[in-house]
Amino acid sequence: MAQALSDISVPAQASKDAVKRARRRRPTYVAQSVSYVLDAAILWLYHLAGTTDGWIGVGYGAAGVGWTGLMLAASELHFTDRFRDHYLTVPQSFGSIAIQLTAIYLAPEVGFYFVSVLFIVLGFGALRMSAKQTGAVWTFAAVGLTVLFVCTDRPIAMPMGTPAERQLALLCFVTALGRCAFTGLYGSSLREMLYKRGNQLKEAHARIEELAQVDELTGVLNRRYVMRALNEEMLRAQRSGSPCSVAIVDLDFFKRINDRHGHPVGDEVLRSFAICVAANIRAVDKLGRYGGEEFLLVLPGAPQDEAVQVVDRIRRIVAEMNWDALGEGVAVTMSAGVAQVRRDKAPDEILSRADLALYRAKNAGRNRVCS
C-alpha cells in the first residue's frame, strides 16, 4: 500500500514542478513579445515618416511575436522540460538573431537599430547560457553581420535627415537602453535567486548534518558522533597534556520501568533524563546516547576527581527529581563509571576502564558513581 501511494505521489509532484517551471517561464516570453510589438510600432512610425515601407513593421512584429509564441506553446505543453535548459535559451537566441539579421537586410535604412537589438538579445541570452553556448550564438551573429556588411551592398544606416527621423532615432536608442536596463535587472534577480537558494541549501545541509548527529529519541548526540567527539577530545588532551575524563552512565533498573509502565513511559524517562543531564553540564562537555539506557559523557579539561564530583552532582539531581508526571510510582536513579584519559591510550582502553567502574557501581548497590 505504501509503495502504491509512493508511486502515485512521485508523478503528481513531477507534474506540479512542471507547472511551476512553466509559470516562471511565462513572464520572459511575455516580455519578449512586448519588445517585438514595441519595435514594430517604432517601424510603423518610421513608415509614417516616409522612411520605410509599412509591411516592414508588420512583418517584423509578426515574425517576432510568432517565434515567441512558438516558444511559449512549447513551454506550456511542457515540451521544453525534457531539456537541461528548459528555457531553450540557445534556440531562442538563434531565432531572435535571425529575425534581426533579416530585418537589417530588408530594412537597411534603419539597420543600425536592429544592430543595437542584437546586443540586447546576446546579453539577455548570456545570462542563462554557458561560455560555449554564448560563443556559438556570438559566432552566429558575427557571421551574419559580416555577410551583411561585407558581402552585400545594402546601405545600412540610421536616418537623421529630418526632425522626425532624429526624434525616432532618439526613441530607438532610449527604448534599447531601457531593455538593456531590464536585462541588468533580470540578471540581478537571477543572482539574488541563486543566492537565496544557496542559503537554503546550506541551511538544509546543516539541518541534515544536525539530524545525522542527533539521537532521534533523546535529542543528544548519537553513538557515532559521541564516539567521534571522544576521539577528538582524547587527541587534544594527549597533545596538550590537559586532563580529560569520560563517564559511562546507566539508568538503574530501566527494564523494570519498561515492564511496569510500558515502553512509551520508558522513552519519556530517557528523554527527560537526557534533558536533565544536558542542562547540568558545561557547553564544552559532550553527551551522547551510548546504547539503550546507557549514555556517554565526555568532560574535557576535567581531571578524574573533578569529573566524579560533576557526575555525582548529576546523580543526586536525577534521584531527587519528581518523576510522577511520567507515571505513578516511577523512580529513576543512575549509576556511573568515570575514567581519565591516559597518554598514548586508545578510546577502547578508557571506555573499558569506565565500564569496569560502572560495574563496580552496579555491584555496590547502584545509584552511585565509581572511578
Higher pLDDT, 128 or 357: 357
Question: 176-191 pLDDT, tens per residue?
Answer: 888 878 777 777 777 7
CATH 3.30.70.270 domain span(s) along the chain: 223-370
Q: Quick check: 18 pLDDT over 80?
A: no
How buried is 199 (Cβ within 10 angstroms: 0-12 exposed, 13-18 middle, 19+ buried)?
A: exposed
Cα separation values, 318 from 250, 279, 291, 329, 366, Å: 12, 12, 19, 15, 13
pLDDT the model gives residue 9:
53
Cα separation values, 299 from 93, 155, 268, 296, 307, Å: 64, 86, 25, 10, 7
Give CATH superfamily name and number for 223-370: Reverse transcriptase/Diguanylate cyclase domain (3.30.70.270)
How buried is 139 (Cβ within 10 angstroms: 0-12 exposed, 13-18 middle, 19+ buried)?
A: exposed
pLDDT the model gives residue 124:
83
Mean pLDDT calculated for residue range 95-123: 90
The whole-model pTM stands at 0.57
Question: 230-268 pLDDT, tens per residue?
Answer: 999 988 888 888 899 999 999 999 999 888 889 999 999
H-run or E-run covering 364: none
What is the pLDDT of the chain when averaged over all its residues?
A: 86
